[in-house]
Every structure is written in C-alpha cells, then in structure tokens.
Amino acid sequence: MNVVNDSPRRRELIRVAAQLFVQEGFDRTTVRMLAQEMGIKSGSLFHHFRDKQEILCAVIEEGTHNALAIAREALAQCDGGAEARLHAMARAHLETLLTDRNAHVVALYEWRRLDEASRDHLGHLRDAYEQLWQDVIGDALEAGLIRGDKFLVSRFVLGALNWTVRWYDPAGAYSPDALASELIDMLGAPAATPA
C-alpha cells in the first residue's frame, strides 16, 4: 500500500476507524460514519486514503507493526533462556493486545475482509510475527519446557492469548504480566497420568 500521507490526522483516522470497525464491523462502517466521528467531510478522508479497504489495511498494518516492534524489543531485552523468552513473548503479546486492543481485534476478526492485494501486502508482517512465535516455541520444545508439535503449540498459545481481548478485565484479579505467566505456566504442567 502506498502511504498518501503520514500526518497526525491520518494516524487519528486509523485510530478512529479501528474503534468503529470493532463497534460496527467493517462492512457496516461507512466512510460517512468515519468522517462524522472525525468531525470532517466525507471527501476529506480521501486526502489520506483511497478507499475504505485502504483504511482497513492501514489499521491492521499499524497494529501488526506495533506488535512486531514490542515483541522484538521484549526478546532483545530478555537475558534468560527459552523459558524467559517464552514468558517475554507472552507478556509482549498481551501488552499489544491490551494497549492497542481495537487494532488487534480488527486484525483478528476483519482480516478476511481484506482484498487479495492487501492480504499479500500484509502477509510478510503477519508471517514475521508468527515466525517469532515459532522460534520461541521451538526453543521451549528443545529445552523440554513444553511438549507437542511446534505449529500446533504456537497456534494454541496465540489463540489463548488472543482470546483475552474478549474477557480480560484490567481491574480484575490478574495484571497482564501475571496473566501471561499463568497462561505460559499451564503449558509446562505435567501430563496427567491415566487412572
């Protein structure tokens, strides 16, 4: 996607679009609704984006860039072994989900609305993020911290972490760090012995 302009106004449009896509769904959100929420005329949106599809792509791209940057930083600062890296990735993932919730909900639930060109454009970012998880899970498997197929364990962990956007309450019993630790610790629980 070509960025027509990367102004603060454009970034605000991305934030508001993410919020509307979560509240209304991509299909039901209109350009007019977005313009009204921003307090501008509908035509003004096209100074920043060619169409609604490009807005969706920008929301997902910004959220994915953010997630990738936070995950890479967490791993770079991690001085421990496989277990510490696994916990660092889980904490980083929850941090991005809980601080940039709307962008991630849109990425999770509206990805299928992207046209083929947008999916191709964003695929490398998604693949890079999933590869970080595959590497960290692979290290944890090699260290004997967890068991299972690397791909399936990665999908299981990401699925569990992603689902927190639906039920997690920041005022609840778990901080994001405690929640990440609890979820990752579940992976290392010994297998139950048949009775």
Give the closest residue to 88 by CA, choosing from 52, 133, 50: 133
Q: How many Cα atoms sit within 13 Å of 126 on the Cβ side?
A: 14
Question: pTM of the full predicted structure?
Answer: 0.87
What does the alpha-carbon distance between residue 185 and residue 67 come to, in Å, rounded to a whole number?
22
| pLDDT value of residue 190 | 52
| pLDDT value of residue 108 | 92
**60-187 is a CATH 1.10.357.10 domain:** yes
The pLDDT-based confidence of 170 (bands split at 50, 70, 90) is confident
State pLDDT tens for residues 17-75. Answer: 999 999 999 999 999 999 999 999 888 888 899 999 999 999 999 999 999 999 999 99
In DSSP notation, 129-167 reads HHHHHHHHHHHHHHTTSS-S-HHHHHHHHHHHHHHHHHH
Q: Parse the chain into domains and list their residue ranges.
A: 60-187
